[in-house]
Amino acid sequence: LGEPPLVPALSYILLLAMLLCWILSGLAFFLDRYRIPLLIPLVLWLGLNAYLPWSEYYYPVQDPLQEAGSASSDSEGRIGADSDGKIIVVASNGGGIQAAAWTARVLTGLEEECRTKCKGSFDQSVHLISSVSGGSIGTMYFVNEYEGGRLPRDPAELEEIVDRTEGSSLDEVSWGVLYPDLIRTFFPNPWVLNGWDRGRALEQAWLRRDLDTSWANRKRVEQGLLKWRRNAEDSNRPAVIFNTAVVETGQRLPLATTALPQDSPGDLSYNQYFKNVDPKPDIPVVTAARLSASFPYVAPAARAAVEAKTGHLVDGGYYDNYGISSLVEWLDAELEDNPNIKEVLIVELRGAPSGPGGPRTDTPECRTEPVVVQDPESTWFSQILAPPQGALSVRNTGQRTHNDVELDLLQDKWSREADAKEHKGHVEITRALFEFDGENPPLSWHLTNDQKDKIEQEWREEVDDPSDSCAGWDRVQTFLGPKGK
């Protein structure tokens, strides 16, 4: 994996099929001599291998100087408001490379637009990004380029962020499935694998972007969460929350570079997750992003490479595919601790259409009407597909509705004049939604040139349509103030 891949993903898949066909055919030939069916010894062999420690999937950790990402109820490690009492927080949803590219495109695009059209500074106003799945990759590349609290001044460097995010990772994942993961499944051992799997191959794909050019800040994504947390405390970069989920308990585990409230319902803190590990390890930023973006079967469910057994972490989209739950908890605690914040803009990034009834913003006139299905298909085959289709549909709609309720309650809590004294003052919370409206967005880790062009086209439509009062860009410009006014 030292050079850019020359073998396409399809070749790896075909090679895997050929190897399995040859090996299993050969085994069937020899076992038939003793009238032993192939399936029985194969299942026994795989079952035995499952109990060997080398068949497990681990993610790397680092030795910390102190606890990283620990939950805290005090204000230490929180980010102060700007001089005008305004902050911007971002929630980036999941959806593979499509969500990653949309996140990078919108955030860098807002920075470019605001330099000429906004009175306030966008990059300095962003204080937190809560991301899930593919959105975590776009967030990682975007936040990584901060220097002294600002993004690069050169527009070409902003475009490079988008280019890195749009780079394909399928070849590396396919390599991981064919080589280390195939060995791990049939012949697990500590000598050949050496920590490699398709998850680590995915990380290397993200690290190898622009090998033929100068990516000066490449090493920063290999730093631990603790380093990024210190940067956030010093206002050198926004705080980030890479949302993951624990397989064994179903709890949300935010891997954060900022203090988080303790004992949140359905939430597992960093210290609770590493309860039996001392000292608490640090996690590389690129690994945290990968864990948050562990798309089902594409990346493995992995646990920490420590002596004590920890839960397996998977894609945060299982719990909340929009990143809102962690954002709401952080923002509510921040408003309680920081009376200087008077206005908040919540930027929601969605890399795919929300579907029927999805609200565009927090105002009634911008909400879409529920869609009634006309003449739905009704066959015996549709009855077979109905349970999984219903579960997936309810998951998306249920999470989105739950997120909207959380945001509505947060807005209501901080806008009620009756609670002004209790909550240290009225806070105006506004929502701005940037949603990709194109059809059939990809969910894999590869984008075609047409798909990249479509992302660019959708972004330009978000900015260039002045008649759309519900557009997110109008909300951002109003919040930061139009330039010259």
Share of the chain above pLDDT 90, in %: 65
- Beta strand 239-246 with 313-315 is antiparallel
Question: Which of 9-13, 201-205, 334-338 shows the lowest per-residue confidence on average (mean pLDDT)?
Answer: 9-13
- The answer to whether position 111 is within a domain reads yes
Q: List the structure tokens of 388.
A: 């999984």
Q: What is the structure's pLDDT at 2? A: 45
How much is the pLDDT for 402?
87
**Residue whose C-alpha is closest to residue 256's, from 226, 234, 280, 279:** 226
Would you say residue 1 has pLDDT above 80?
Answer: no
pLDDT in tens, 307-318: 999 999 999 999
What per-residue confidence (pLDDT) applies to 385?
A: 86
Q: Is residue 79 part of a domain?
A: no
- State the CATH number of the domain containing residue 148: 3.40.1090
- 263 pLDDT higher than 70: yes
Q: Are residues 352 and 401 in the same domain?
A: yes
CA distances from 337 to 231, 413, 424, 469 (A): 20, 15, 9, 33
Of 122, 128, 125, 85, residue with least CA distance to 106: 122
In a 13 Å sphere around the CA of 229, the CA atoms on its Cβ side amount to 25
pLDDT at residue 268 above 60?
Answer: yes
Q: Is residue 239 part of a domain?
A: yes
Phi, psi of 372 (to 5 degrees): -95, 125
> pLDDT (tens digit, 9 = 90+) per residue, 127-139?
999 999 999 999 9
pLDDT at 393 over 90: no
Instruction: Answer with the residue of higher pLDDT: 80 or 213.
Output: 213
**125 lies in a domain?**
yes
Q: What is the pLDDT of residues 159-199, one digit of tens each?
A: 999 999 999 998 999 999 999 999 999 999 888 778 899 99
Instruction: Please report the pLDDT score of residue 192 as a whole number.
Output: 77
If you average pLDDT over residues 265-277, what whole number do you get?
86
| Contact between 281 and 63 (Cβ < 8 Å) | yes
- Which band of pLDDT confidence, cut at 50, 70 and 90, is reported for residue 67? very low
175 shares a domain with 292: no
Judge whether residue 414 has pLDDT over 60.
yes
Helix 96-117 vs helix 449-464: crossing angle, to nearest 10: 40
Residues 429, 354 within the same domain: yes
Are 120 and 147 within one domain? yes
Q: What is the mean pLDDT of residues 294-313?
A: 93
pLDDT at res. 360: 52
Three-class HEC string of the chain: CCCCCCCCHHHHHHHHHHHHHHHHHHHHHHHHCCCCCCHHHHHHHHHHHCCCHHHCCEECCECCCCCCCCCCCCCCCCCCCCCCCEEEEEEECCCHHHHHHHHHHHHHHHHHHHHHHECCCHHHHEEEEEEECHHHHHHHHHHHCCECCECCCCHHHHHHHHHHHCCCCHHHHHHHHHCHHHHHHHCCCCCCCCCCCHHHHHHHHHHCCCCCCCCCCHHHHHCEHHHHHHHHHCCCCCEEEEEEEECCCCCEEEEECCCCCCCCCCECCHHHHCCCCCCCCECEHHHHHHHHCCCCCCCCCEEECCCCCCCCEEEHHHCCCCCHHHHHHHHHHHHHHCCCCCEEEEEEEECCCCCCCCCCCCCHHHCCCCCCCCCCCCCHHHHHHHHHHHHHHHHHHHHHHHHHHHHHHHHHHHHCHHHCCCCCCCCEEEEEEEECCCCCCCCCCCCCHHHHHHHHHHHHHHHHCCCCCCCHHHHHHHHHCECCC
Who contacts 306 (Cβ-Cβ below 8 Å, separation ≥6)? Answer: 61, 274, 277, 281
Decide if pLDDT at 262 tops 90.
Answer: no
Chain mean pLDDT for the chain: 87
Residue 9's pLDDT is what?
A: 84
Residues 178 and 263 in one domain: no
- Tokens 């798309």 belong to 295
Do 141 and 179 share a domain, yes or no? Answer: no
User: Tens digit of pLDDT for each residue in 105-115?
Assistant: 999 999 999 99
Is residue 143 domain-shared with residue 191, that is, in the same domain? no
Q: What pLDDT does 73 receive? A: 36
Kindly state whether residue 340 falls inside one of the protein's structural domains. Answer: yes
- Domain span at residue 231? 86-156+222-297+306-370+391-480
Q: pLDDT band for position 75 (50/70/90)?
A: very low
The answer to the question of residue 328 being in a domain is yes
Residue 17 has pLDDT above 90, yes or no: yes
Q: Contact, 471 vs 479, CB < 8 A?
A: no
189 and 274 together in one domain: no
Indicate if 240 and 276 belong to the same structural domain. Answer: yes
> CA–CA distance from 246 to each of 314, 315, 332 (Å)?
6, 9, 24
Bigger pLDDT: 422 or 278? 278
Convert the pLDDT of each residue in 355-389 to its tens digit. 665 555 556 556 666 666 666 777 878 888 888 88
pLDDT above 90: residue 143: yes
Residue 213 has pLDDT above 80, yes or no: no
φ and ψ at residue 473, rounded to 5 degrees:
-60, -40
In this structure, is residue 120 part of a structural domain? yes
CA angle centred on 19, ends 17 and 21, rounded to 5°: 65
**Shared domain check, 175 and 151:** no
pLDDT bracket for residue 442 (50, 70, 90): confident
**Tokens for 103?**
């996140």
Mean pLDDT of 24-33: 93
- pLDDT category at 396 given cuts 50, 70, 90 is confident
Domain count along the chain? 2
- Same domain assignment for residues 235 and 92: yes
Residue 69: pLDDT band with limits 50, 70, 90: very low
Answer yes or no: is 375 within a domain: no
140 and 42 in a common domain: no
